Amino acid sequence: MNAIELRTSFSLAFIYVLRMLGLFMVMPVLAISATHYADYSAFLVGLAVGGYGLTQALLQIPMGVLSDKIGRKPIIIAGLLLFSAGSVLAGVAESLTWVVVGRLLQGAGAIAGAIMALAGDLSREAQRPKVMAIIGISIGFSFYIALLLGPIIAAKFGLSGIFIATGLLALACVLLVVFAVPNAVNIAPKGDTLPVIEDIKKLFTHPQLIRLNISVLLLHMMITLVFVQIPIFLVDLSWPLASHWQIYLIVLFASIVGLLVLMKIAGKYPNGVMQISVLGLALVFVLMIFGHHSLLYLIILVSLFFTCFNYLEANFPAMVSNIAPAGKKGSAMGVYASFQFLGAFIGGVTSGSISEYFGIQWVFVLASLVCVIWVLIIKGISATDRRKRYTLRIQKQTTDLAFQQLAKLDGVIDLTIVPNEQIVYLKADNKNFDIQQAKQLLNIPE
C-alpha cells in the first residue's frame, strides 16, 4: 500500500474504533448503572441497550446512498455530529427515557457505508481488500476494548461519564476527518462499496443471502439480550461493577482459545461448525434458564457464548461477500448491516420486556427456542467457496458481442455490466478463469 492508502486505512479505522466504543461501552454497564433513574424499568434498559440499532438499521442504506450524491466527508461529519449530540443528550439526561432518546440519536449517525465508500475511493483496486480488512478488524477490536473500558469508566465517572467521553471523542473524530483523512483521488465503482437502491429488493429474495441476513439479525439479538442480563448476574454474585472488566478479560481470552479450536475444525467441516456454534448458543441459554449458581459457572457459560458468537460474527460477512452477485457486494453488505443493527434493537427490547413482565428465565427459554429454529435456517446456507471477483474498466465502444463472449469464458460464473460507469463486475472460478484472456477480449490495456 502507498502512503495515501496507509493514511486512509489507519485514520478511518481509528474513527471507526472511537465511534463504536461509544456505542458499545454502555452495554456491559447500563443494566446496573441505570438503576438510579426514577423511571428505571427493565424494558427501558433493554431499549437503551439496543435502541441505537433501530436508527442504525433504518438509516444505514439511505446515508450511504446520500454520500454518493453530496460527498463522503460531509455525510461522515454530519453522522459524527449526530452521534456526539446523542451522546451528550444521554450524558446529561435525568431520566432513563431521555437516555433512550440519546441512544436513538447516537444510532442516527449511520456512517458505516460512507466510511467504507470513502475507503474505496482512496484506494487502488488491488489494495482495496487490505484497506477494508484493516477497517473491519478495527470494528471487532473496538467491541472487546469497550467490554473492558466500560466498567472501569462507569465505576469512576458513572454512566454519564461514558456518554460525555464518547461525545467528545466523536468531535475529535470530526477533526480527524477534516485534517487527517485524505481527500478522494479515485472513485471506486459503486457496486464494490455502496448500496444501490435498485439492487436491494432483489437481494431480499436471494435464497442464500436472506438466510445470512436473518442469521446476523438473530446473532446480534442474542448478544444484546445477553448484555441486558449478565451485568445483573455478576452483581447478584457479589461482584461489583468496577471489577466486571476482570471477568470480561478472562472470558475474552477463553473465547479466543475456543475460537481457534472451532476454526481448526471448520477447515474440514465449515457448515457443520456453523450449526455447532448455533447449538452452542442454545446450550448456553438452556443452562441459564436454571440460574447462575456460581461465578465460575457463569464465566464458563459466557465464555462458551463468546466462542460461538465470535466464530459466527467473523464468518458471516465473508460469506455475504462471497455469495453476493457480481457488482452487488455493496448492496448486499448494506442490507446485511441493516439486519445486524435491527437485531441489536430487537434483542434489547425483547430482553427488557420479557424480563420485566414474565421473569428473566423466560428470556432464556425464548432465546434457546429461537436458536433451535435458527439451526434449521442455517442448514440451508451453502458452504463458501473461493471464487474470485474482478472489477474491469471497459471502453465506451465495447460491443455486446464482446460481453456475450466474456460470459462464455471458462470459469465465469456471474457478470454485471454497468454502462454508465464503464464497469464490468465478474465472479469467476479462479481455477478455470484466465483474467488476461478476459482483458484481451474487452481490449483492456495491460
- Residue 428 pairs with which residues in a beta bridge? 388, 412
Calpha distance 82→90 (Å, rounded): 12
Domain residues for 415?
A: 388-441
Same domain flag for 145 and 59 = yes
Same domain flag for 90 and 219 = no
What single string gives the DSSP state of each residue in 186-223? S---HHHHS--HHHHHHHHT-HHHHHHHHHHHHHHHHH
What is the pTM assigned to this prediction?
0.84
Specify the pLDDT at position 1.
Answer: 74
Same domain flag for 376 and 392 = no
Q: Is residue 446 part of a domain?
A: no
Q: Domain holding 393: CATH number?
A: 3.30.70.100
- Cα–Cα separations (whole angstroms), residue 27 to 21, 307, 401: 10, 19, 56
Specify the pLDDT at position 373.
Answer: 94
Q: What is the pLDDT of residues 109-119, one digit of tens each?
A: 888 888 888 88
Specify the pLDDT at position 206.
Answer: 83
Backbone conformation region of residue 359, classed left if phi is above 0, alpha if psi is from -120 to 50, else beta: left
Same domain flag for 325 and 258 = yes
Q: Is residue 77 part of a domain?
A: yes
Contact assessment for residue 415 and residue 326, using Cβ atoms and an 8 Å cutoff: yes
Same domain flag for 231 and 342 = yes
From the CB of residue 74, how many other CB atoms can be counted at a distance below 10 Å? 14
Contacts of 38 (CB under 8 A, 6+ apart): 95
Q: Is residue 347 part of a domain?
A: yes
Q: Domain holding 15: CATH number?
A: 1.20.1250.20
Look up residue 71 and give its three cell numbers: 460527498
From the CB of residue 76, how many other CB atoms can be counted at a distance below 10 Å? 28
Contacts of 263 (CB under 8 A, 6+ apart): 311
Same domain flag for 72 and 206 = no
Q: Which residues of 246-260 are buried (b: 16+ CB within 10 A; e: fewer)?
A: ebbeebbebbeebbe
What type of residue sits at position 207?
P
| Final residue of a structural domain among 159, 194, 229 | 194
What single string gives the DSSP state of each residue in 265-314? HHTT-HHHHHHHHHHHHHHHHHHHHT----HHHHHHHHHHHHHHHHHHHH
Same domain flag for 138 and 263 = no
Q: Is residue 359 part of a domain?
A: yes
Q: Is residue 228 part of a domain?
A: yes
Same domain flag for 183 and 204 = no
Ranges in the chain, pLDDT < 70: 125-126, 184-193, 270, 382-387, 414-415, 420-421, 430, 445-446
Calpha distance 13→7 (Å, rounded): 10
Same domain flag for 74 and 186 = yes
User: What is the DSSP code (8-state) at residue 181?
Assistant: S
Q: How many helices (H) and strands (E) does the chain have?
A: 17, 3
What single string gives the DSSP state of each residue in 52-67? HHHHHHHHHHHHHHHH
Q: What is the pLDDT of residues 332-388, one digit of tens each?
A: 888 888 899 999 999 999 988 898 888 888 999 999 999 999 999 888 776 555 567
What type of residue sits at position 232?
I
Same domain flag for 378 and 253 = yes
Calpha distance 320→375 (Å, rounded): 18
- Cα–chain-centroid distance for residue 285? 23
Calpha distance 326→329 (Å, rounded): 7
Same domain flag for 378 and 427 = no
Look up residue 280 and give its three cell numbers: 452452542
Same domain flag for 53 and 170 = yes
